Amino acid sequence: MVAVRPGAPLTGTVTVDGSKNAALPLLAAAGALGRPVRLGNIPANTDVQIMLELLQQSGWHVAQPVGEPTTALLLPTEIRHTHPELARAAHIRASYYLVPALLARHGTARLPWPGRCRIGARGMDLHFKVYEAFGDRSAQDDSGYRIEAASPRTGPVSLVLPFRSRGATMAAVLRAVTTGRPLRLGEPNLSPEVLSVLDALRSAGWEARATEHLLTFLPPAAAQEETAVWQVPGDKVEAGTLACAIAATGGAARIDGVHGADVAPLVTALRHLGIPTDAEANALVVHAPDARLAIRPLRAIATLSPGGLAADFEPLLMSLALSRPGTHLFSDAINPGRHGNLVPQLARLGAQIDEISPTECRLTGPQRLIGAGVEATDIRTGSALMVAGLTARGVTTVGGLDQLRRGHADLPAKLRALGADICEVTP
């Protein structure tokens, strides 16, 4: 566990790691591409390490160049398992990204249901409909699911998603890669993580055009064999965590390594709370609070719409809002179990939060928090609790470090680099 105490305002400069949420689909895309890929800026969190292990177990060779700890070279091999045993896939929610690569290599994908975070069921029904559009067959039971590849087909695939699912969008794009078929996808998810995969595949010869309502994806005119060189973008959620921590302590600091456009909705929310914040091309700058800025009630509503607030920012803003005047509303219907994790933990610190529904709540700040023992039941709950602990009187101990490490190699170290009083302790 980690112990957190309030202290001086956070200051300085820190650089975020690569994004877990972008690295996982990029690794799956590397497997689907069927040629060597060199991927840089890979974060060292446990979810990414598990994904690399799954690729190795499924027949890809994963090498780390000497002196480049954040780079991996992925090579297809001649080794083919009829049905690779991938029990570790149950420990990572994003294991479903591997299905297209497994279908291309083995003709079958057999995986356990995704697990780990307790933030609501990770529905797969829409994924199965995507594969059915390509002619694949699926079957499910209590232990997991199995998808059988269709016999080779040609011609475009067209479908419209009923909601902007990131997982289903990636399933359609990567299955198009492995089948070499053109794709027309209506109502796609256009999050920064999806766009980073599309940019990577463009560099590998694919043609991708995306508007708010339609994604068209066309195969290369000719086969390409050279090594593709890709880069994982900086972690926007780690940047958001650090920004909220800086703002909660009244500090001023610079966060390097994150695309400013990726955190634009967070910048808007911070400004609503009276925190002067600027998004630069490759950095996020949080300034000291300015008393001349009006603090407006915040409506932090997670959405899948392009340009909307990512769900992973919402818990962080909830912890920050406890220290800011006004009555603030929070909603996350994307992860229906997340409030059930976070709100009771914040209540242990003395937070008074009105639960309107299982996915909506309201709070009025500022509130005085008192340090206590709390538990990280998922990655973002753990991050939000550390932000809250920086403003709580006394010591806050946050258990569940294994959850935090799924998404961040060492988030406490980055907070310490900014001056936070935080350390790892033995329970």
Sorted by where each begins, the domain ranges of the chain are 2-17+234-424, 20-231
Name beta bridge partners: 123: none
Give the type of residue at 286.
Answer: V
The whole-number pLDDT of residue 398 equals 96
Report the share of the chain in percent with pLDDT over 90. 80
Token pair for 80: 């083919």
Query: At a CB cut-off of 8 Å and minimum separation 6, what does 329 contact?
Result: 297, 298, 299, 300, 301, 360, 361, 362
Supply 98's token pair: 């591997």
Two tokens, residue 292: 């001349």
Strand partners, 214: 186
Contact 227, 36 (CB under 8 A): yes
For the chain, the C-alpha Rg in angstroms (whole number) is: 22
17 dihedral zone (left: phi>0; alpha: psi -120 to 50; beta): beta
Per-residue burial over 188-202, b = 16 or more CB atoms within 10 Å of its CB, e = otherwise: bbbbbbbbbbbebbe
Say which CATH architecture domain 20-231 belongs to. Answer: Alpha-beta prism (3.65)
Buried b (16+ CB within 10 A) or exposed e, 38-54: bbebbbebbbbbbbbbb
Q: What is the pLDDT of residue 82?
A: 59
Segments of the chain with pLDDT less than 50: none
Task: Using the Cα atoms of residue 348, residue 351, residue 356 and residue 360 in order, give the sign of their dihedral.
Answer: negative
Give me the pLDDT at residue 76, please: 84
Residues 240-266: b if buried by 16+ CB within 10 A, e if exposed: bbbbbbbbbbebbbbbebbbbebbebb
> Do 20-231 and 2-17+234-424 have the same topology in CATH?
yes
Q: How far is it, in rounded angstroms, from Cα 149 to Cα 147?
A: 7
Two structure tokens written together for 135: 């002619």
Pairing relation of β-strands 252-256 and 72-76?
unpaired
pLDDT at position 292 is 78
Peptide bond into 336 cis (omega under 30): no
Q: Which CATH number does 2-17+234-424 carry?
A: 3.65.10.10
What is the reported pLDDT for 80? 61
Q: Is the separation of the CB atoms in 134 and 179 below 8 Å?
A: yes
pLDDT attached to residue 90: 83
Q: Convert the pLDDT of each residue in 78-91 to its tens digit.
A: 766 556 778 888 88
pLDDT tens digits for 153-168?
A: 889 999 999 999 999 9
Other CB atoms within 10 Å distance of the CB of residue 111: 22
Residue type, 407: G
- Residues comprising the chain, all counted: 427
Residue-wise burial string across 288-324, b where 16 or more C-beta atoms lie within 10 A, e elsewhere = ebeeeeebeebebebbbeeeebbbbbbbbbbbbbbbb
